Amino acid sequence: VSQSNYGLADFFADARRILKDQGLPAGVHELRPYVERLLANPSLFRDHLGDSPPYGMHTIGHDPETDIYALAYLREKGRASAVHDHGPHWVIYGSYTNHTDMTVWRRLDDRTREGYAEVEKAREFKLTAGHAVAFLPGDIHSIQYPDQTRYLRVTGGDVESAKTLVFDPATKTVRVEDRALGQRP
Ligand SMILES: [Fe+2]
C-alpha cells in the first residue's frame, strides 16, 4: 500500500458526499476504500494523538453532519473479543499496524426466543495493516489481535454508547450489552 497524507478532514468531506449520493447501505461499502486511504497515512495517529499516546481507545474525530466517529485504538496486549453486533450502527474496521483476525458470523435462529441465538462461522480472514472491512447494522463478528496492535474504527453514530448484542455460540445464548456502561464485548 502506497503512503498518503489523506487525513480526517478529507475523509469527512468525502463521506458527506458519498452518503448523500448513495445512502445506506451502498454508501458504507463505497466509503471502505476511503478508510484504507486513511490507513495509508503514516502520520494519521500521530497527527491526532502526538508522539507517545497512551494505550486505549481515543476518539480522534467526529463529523456532526453525518454523525460519523473516527476511533483510534492502541492495544498493548492482544485479546479475543466476544461474538457481537453493533446495534443499529455500521462500522468500518481498519488495521493500522499489525493485524486482526476477523470472524464473521451468521445468525440461524428465527429470533423469537428471548435470550436464545444460534450463530455459525460464515467467514474468517486476516485483516492486515492498511486494509479495512465494512459491517452493516446487524452484522455479527468477533476479533482477535496480538500484542502491540493499532486499529481504526469509523462508525455511523456512537457505537460506544449503544446497546449491542453479545452472542455465546457454545451455549446458544444472546444478551444485550450496554456499552455506555463501559463494558466491551
Ligand atoms: Fe465489533
| Chain segment 144-161, per-residue pLDDT in tens | 999 999 999 999 999 999
Quote the ligand 1 centre to 43 CA distance (angstroms): 25
- Cβ count near 46 (within 10 Å): 12
pLDDT above 70: residue 183 = no
Q: Whole-prediction pTM value?
A: 0.95
- What distance in Å separates the CA atoms of residue 87 and residue 159, rounded to the nearest whole number? 7
What is the rounded average pLDDT for all residues in the chain? Answer: 96
47: left (phi over 0), alpha (psi -120 to 50) or beta: alpha
pLDDT above 80: residue 184 = no
Quote the ligand 1 centre to 164 CA distance (angstroms): 10
Quote the ligand 1 centre to 128 CA distance (angstroms): 16
What are the φ/ψ torsions at residue 93 (nearest 5 degrees)?
A: -110, 125
Average pLDDT over residues 13-17: 98
pLDDT above 90: residue 41 = yes
| Chain segment 22-35, per-residue pLDDT in tens | 999 999 999 999 99
Quote the ligand 1 centre to 87 CA distance (angstroms): 10
| Chain segment 161-181, per-residue pLDDT in tens | 999 999 999 999 999 999 998
Torsion of CA 113, 109, 119, 142, to 10 degrees: -70
pLDDT above 60: residue 1 = no
Are 89 and 157 spatial neighbours (Cβ–Cβ below 8 Å)?
yes
| Chain segment 93-126, per-residue pLDDT in tens | 999 999 999 999 999 999 999 999 999 999 999 9
Quote the ligand 1 centre to 122 CA distance (angstroms): 15
Which residue in this structure is represented by grid cell 473516527? 70
| Chain segment 56-67, per-residue pLDDT in tens | 999 999 999 999
Quote the ligand 1 centre to 185 CA distance (angstroms): 8
Quote the ligand 1 centre to 141 CA distance (angstroms): 6
- Cβ count near 168 (within 10 Å): 13
Q: Given pLDDT bands bounded at 50, 70 and 90, which one contains residue 4?
A: confident
Quote the ligand 1 centre to 21 CA distance (angstroms): 26
**Amino acid (1-letter code) at residue 70:** A
Are 27 and 21 spatial neighbours (Cβ–Cβ below 8 Å)?
yes
Are 41 and 130 spatial neighbours (Cβ–Cβ below 8 Å)?
no
Q: In 3-state terms, what secondary structure has residue 31?
A: helix
Strands 119-128 and 83-84: unpaired
Quote the ligand 1 centre to 46 CA distance (angstroms): 24
- Cβ count near 180 (within 10 Å): 11
Are 168 and 81 spatial neighbours (Cβ–Cβ below 8 Å)?
no
Quote the ligand 1 centre to 117 CA distance (angstroms): 18
